[in-house]
Structure formats: C-alpha cells, structure tokens
Chains A and B, each alone.
Chain A
Amino acid sequence: DTGVSQDPRHKITKRGQNVTFRCDPISEHNRLYWYRQTLGQGPEFLTYFQNEAQLEKSRLLSDRFSAERPKGSFSTLEIQRTEQGDSAMYLCASSLVVDGYTFGSGTRLTVV
C-alpha cells in the first residue's frame, strides 16, 4: 500500500492553457474524491466517484472542470482555459467505505 499518489506535484501554467492532473488511489478503495484548497483555507469538495461513476459534483466545479475515472482505478481532473483564480492545491482522496479517508500530497497549480 503506497498511499494515494498524485501527479504532478507542482504545475505552473499560463492563463488560458489546459491542464490535467492524475490521481492513483489506494488500490482496493472504490471511493475517490477531489478537493481544492486555497491559501489559508480548508479543502473544499469538488467531486466524488464510486468506482467509475461520478456521483456528485460541487457547484465549485464549473464547466471548465471535468473529472473522469474510466476504469474505476485512477482518476484525472482537467481544467480547461485556466484562470488565475484556479491557482490552488488540488487534493485527491480515497476510501473503501464512507469513513475518514486518505488524502494524497496534492498538486499545486499556479496560473500565471
């Protein structure tokens, strides 16, 4: 068990570019969550998958954001036409049941 893995750890992109982040959950975990954390704030829920089904999306997830978990294992989060306000830490977490789950180390996005 290597924990929840996120890639890349850091990403700097120019405004207007598209970016994609990857999350590899703990292997037997069927639930996968994405959160966003800005400086000085707690993480905020973005979306949730159970296996490959995306079951819930936050209002924070604008139409420029899309998340997938095609085979119920790893997940990707894509942001299209990035804006400076998208600069944040993007955290992925996974769990086996509805319980206190394990977070990855996050991807820090800076939009310049």
Chain B
Amino acid sequence: GQQLNQSPQSMFIQEGEDVSMNCTSSSIFNTWLWYKQDPGEGPVLLIALYKAGELTSNGRLTAQFGITRKDSFLNISASIPSDVGIYFCAGMMNYGGSQGNLIFGKGTKLSVKP
C-alpha cells in the first residue's frame, strides 16, 4: 500500500535535546496528523493540521503543514524520557471516494541515548 516518506527512521535523544522529524508525500493532503505509538498500543493523536502553512503547538510539540500540502514536520523541544516511542505522520484523504482514510509514514523511532 501507499506510505509517506518519513525521516529519520530512528534517532537517539538525550534528555533536554530538541528533536525534529519530517514527512513528505507525492500526493496532496487536506489534513496532516501526527501520532505517537507505544509498544503494544494503538497510535495516539498528538497534533492535527488542517490548513497549508498552519503551525500548531501542543505543549512541547510543534508541527507545521507544508505550504505545498505535500509535507509536514514535527518538533519536540526539551525532550524527556517519556517522549520515547514511535512517531507517525499521516495524511488524510477526504475528497472523492476516500472519506477520512489515513496514509501513514513508516514511523520515526525515538530512543534514549545509552
């Protein structure tokens, strides 16, 4: 199936560091979403973006909807140990016959530096 290009695939963080990840697509989306998934659980919605150019924050998280509608990025500032997990971007298709289907990236795995 179709998936978005998400990078980096994995990264190690030290507590207090800022983290950036991004997502690109060959298709235009009307909505971009960022989810976090912990092992054995379903994804949990972090931020939803509805308008090209939109910049939205949720606590230490900031995400932007790219102006071309084909990309998005997520920043985490001053990371803490509980930020560890897998972060997924998702583009929502809500036009034509596709009402609300999400196309996901492969995820960015955040781990703590040993």
Chain B residues with CB under 8 Å of A93's CB are: 42
Expressed in whole angstroms, the Cα–Cα distance for A103 and B99 within the complex equals 17
27 A–B pairs (Cβ distance < 8 Å), ordered by A: A31-B99, A35-B102, A40-B106, A42-B88, A42-B105, A42-B106, A42-B107, A43-B43, A43-B102, A45-B1, A45-B102, A48-B99, A55-B99, A56-B97, A56-B99, A58-B1, A60-B1, A91-B43, A98-B92, A100-B31, A100-B48, A101-B100, A102-B45, A103-B42, A103-B43, A106-B41, A108-B40
Of A45, A95, A102, most buried by chain B (CB within 10 Å of CB) is: A45
Q: Is residue A99 within 8 Å, beta carbon to beta carbon, of the partner chain?
A: yes
Expressed in whole angstroms, the Cα–Cα distance for A23 and B28 within the complex equals 31
Query: Size of chain B's interface in residues, with CB distance under 8 A?
Result: 29
How many pairs, one residue from A and one from B, have CB atoms within 8 Å of each other in the complex?
Answer: 77
Q: Is residue A2 within 8 Å, beta carbon to beta carbon, of the partner chain?
A: no
Chain B residues within 8 Å of A, Cβ to Cβ: 1, 3-4, 6, 31, 33, 35, 40-45, 48, 88, 90, 92, 94, 97-107
- Asked if B100 contacts A98 (CB within 8 A), the reply is yes
- Asked if A48 contacts B100 (CB within 8 A), the reply is yes
Interface size class of A (residues with CB under 8 A): 20 to 34
Expressed in whole angstroms, the Cα–Cα distance for A82 and B92 within the complex equals 30
Chain A residues within 8 Å of B, Cβ to Cβ: 4, 31, 33, 35, 40-45, 48, 50, 55-56, 58-60, 91, 93, 95, 98-106, 108
Of A4, A100, A102, most buried by chain B (CB within 10 Å of CB) is: A100
Expressed in whole angstroms, the Cα–Cα distance for A60 and B101 within the complex equals 13
- Asked if B42 contacts A104 (CB within 8 A), the reply is yes
- Asked if B42 contacts A105 (CB within 8 A), the reply is yes
Chain A residues with CB under 8 Å of B104's CB are: 41-44
